[in-house]
Amino acid sequence: MTEKLYDQNSHQTETTAHVRACTPVKGGYEVLLERTVLFPEGGGQPSDTGTIGEAAVLHCREQDGEVWHLTDRALTPGEEVSVKLDWVRRFDFMQQHTGEHLLSFAFYKLFSAANVGFHLAPDYATIDFDKPLSHEQVLEAERLANTFVWRNLPVRAAFYETEEEIQDLPLRKHAEGLHAPIRIVSIHDADMCTCCAPHCAHTGEIGLIFVRDAASYKGGMRITFFCGGRALGLLRAEHDQLDGIARRFSAARENAADAVKKLGDDYGALKKRERELTRELNGYITAELVENAVSAGKLRFALRLFSGIDAGRLKDLAQSAAASLPLAVLLSENGGRLHYVVSVAENAGLDVSELIAALNAATGGKGGGRGTLAQGMAQNAAGAKETVEQFGVYLARRLKA
């Protein structure tokens, strides 16, 4: 069985060991050592990486008490090798995992909220709780967890041979299906639970616990949090973003939110005024469409190609024109595409399906409709002017017939 040096000393970063086995597998080789400082994934914590001799360790896994190291090259059974872990990666994981213990304890102590799920990713970490919590409760738990950080409390790991030995321990969480020896991680005057992963030696090593997001999840709540170096990186990035916003508005950092709010209010007022002006302008355009409508037999129709008008506004214009004309066919080049609308008066006796089919064929687009309205779009607006002219000839002949 592999001697797991990380169980008692999470800060040991290297050792020497003899290679017991090396087996080719998909993606590399699995190496078995007599001892290791590299933690295999477990307890919600990802695997360590590092080196064994000249070989890079890509992943570790544990099976039946043995730790298998996935390496990028073969090693010779029997040789003695140096074993080193990626300390930056390990310490980051320890900060997050120890912070998770304190957060889980704080939520449990304050609100009897149980941790029912923990996920530690390379760039974020989450905890799922079994009940919903308010924003104020989340902040209160965050503050309590950080008081344990600032007290720099010792973190200990101990092993117990039987379930009977741990029955009277004040465990916050007891994982099911554990086999002896059972590992208990305890934080003085705070958390105690079963856990197999390496943790900080003292809570002060966590540095800071910051809860960034909290959202409803499966009847409870999921929080996303950052500890230590991750928290510093996140807060530095967000601070610099806020600084950039403040400079953009020539405002002090503490006034940036008010400046953004004012911009939003001003933008809303401008959008409202724009809608009012658009409605007024649409009235003038509609009047012009009606005045310049083309006669075909006993019917008159409006046909116009616009530029930069979106599909929604094009529809409004067509329907407004069709209130005074038997037929309005409007098109618009917008963003390299060609939008088009066919609107007919209810008593015009025209088949909108036939007209939109003809327009689809003329533009190479797709569209449909029923009743008095049809809409479509062609992915390419090239040659739109010539298409409209040709379609005008078609409409004149069709309506005269």
One domain for residues 232 and 306: no
Higher-confidence residue: 327 or 399? 327
One domain for residues 78 and 113: no
One domain for residues 230 and 177: yes
One domain for residues 16 and 132: no
Higher-confidence residue: 206 or 41? 206
Mean pLDDT of the chain: 94
Beta strands 35-36; 3-4: pairing state: parallel
> What pLDDT was estimated at residue 14?
97
Residue 177's pLDDT band (boundaries 50, 70, 90)? low
Domain-terminating residue out of 50, 85, 120: 85
Give residue-wise pLDDT tens across range 71-81.
999 999 999 99
Could you report how far apart the first and last alpha carbons of the chain are, in Å? Answer: 94
One domain for residues 31 and 79: yes
One domain for residues 311 and 396: yes
Torsion of CA 362, 367, 370, 371, to 10 degrees: -60
One domain for residues 221 and 205: yes
> What pLDDT was estimated at residue 37?
98
Distance (Å, rounded) from C-alpha 69 to C-alpha 59? 6
Domain-terminating residue out of 27, 59, 85: 85
Residue 379's pLDDT band (boundaries 50, 70, 90)? very high
Q: Coil, strand, or helix at residue 140?
A: helix
pLDDT at residue 99 greater than cutoff 70:
yes
Q: How many CB atoms lie within 10 A of CB 85?
A: 25
Residue 159's pLDDT band (boundaries 50, 70, 90)? very high
Domain span holding position 177: 91-236
> What pLDDT was estimated at residue 286?
96
Number of domains, the chain: 3
Domain-terminating residue out of 194, 210, 236: 236
**Inside any domain, residue 382:** yes
One domain for residues 200 and 171: yes
Average pLDDT of 120-127? Answer: 96
Q: Coil, strand, or helix at residue 376?
A: strand
One domain for residues 103 and 49: no
One domain for residues 156 and 105: yes
Give me the sheet containing 366-370, strands edge to edge.
294-296, 299-307, 327-334, 337-344, 373-378, 366-370
> What pLDDT was estimated at residue 192?
95
One domain for residues 39 and 118: no
Residue 401's pLDDT band (boundaries 50, 70, 90)? confident
pLDDT at residue 184 greater than cutoff 90:
yes
Residue 179's pLDDT band (boundaries 50, 70, 90)? confident
How many Cα atoms occupy the beta-carbon half-sphere of 330 within 13 Å? 30
CB 342 within 8 A of CB 391: no
Q: How far is CA 321 from the centre of its chain?
A: 45
Q: What are phi and psi of 82, to 5 degrees?
A: -90, 140
pLDDT at residue 178 greater than cutoff 80:
no
Distance (Å, rounded) from C-alpha 401 to C-alpha 395? 10
Residue 173's pLDDT band (boundaries 50, 70, 90)? confident
Residue 275's pLDDT band (boundaries 50, 70, 90)? very high
Give residue-wise pLDDT tens across range 237-261.
999 999 999 999 999 999 999 999 9
> What pLDDT was estimated at residue 85?
97
Average pLDDT of 309-320? Answer: 95
The CATH number of residue 16's host domain is: 2.40.30.130
Q: How far is CA 114 from CA 44, 111, 207, 221, in A?
A: 16, 9, 24, 10
Average pLDDT of 93-106? Answer: 98
One domain for residues 186 and 293: no
**Inside any domain, residue 243:** no
pLDDT at residue 108 greater than cutoff 90:
yes
The CATH number of residue 360's host domain is: 3.10.310.40
Distance (Å, rounded) from C-alpha 176 to C-alpha 30? 29
Q: What are phi and psi of 342, to 5 degrees?
A: -120, 125
Higher-confidence residue: 305 or 348? 305
pLDDT at residue 342 greater than cutoff 90:
yes
State percent of the chain over pLDDT 90: 89
Higher-confidence residue: 162 or 125? 125
Residue 298's pLDDT band (boundaries 50, 70, 90)? confident
293-319 as b/e: b if 16+ CB within 10 A: beebeebbbbbbbeeebebebbbbbbb
Residue 175's pLDDT band (boundaries 50, 70, 90)? confident
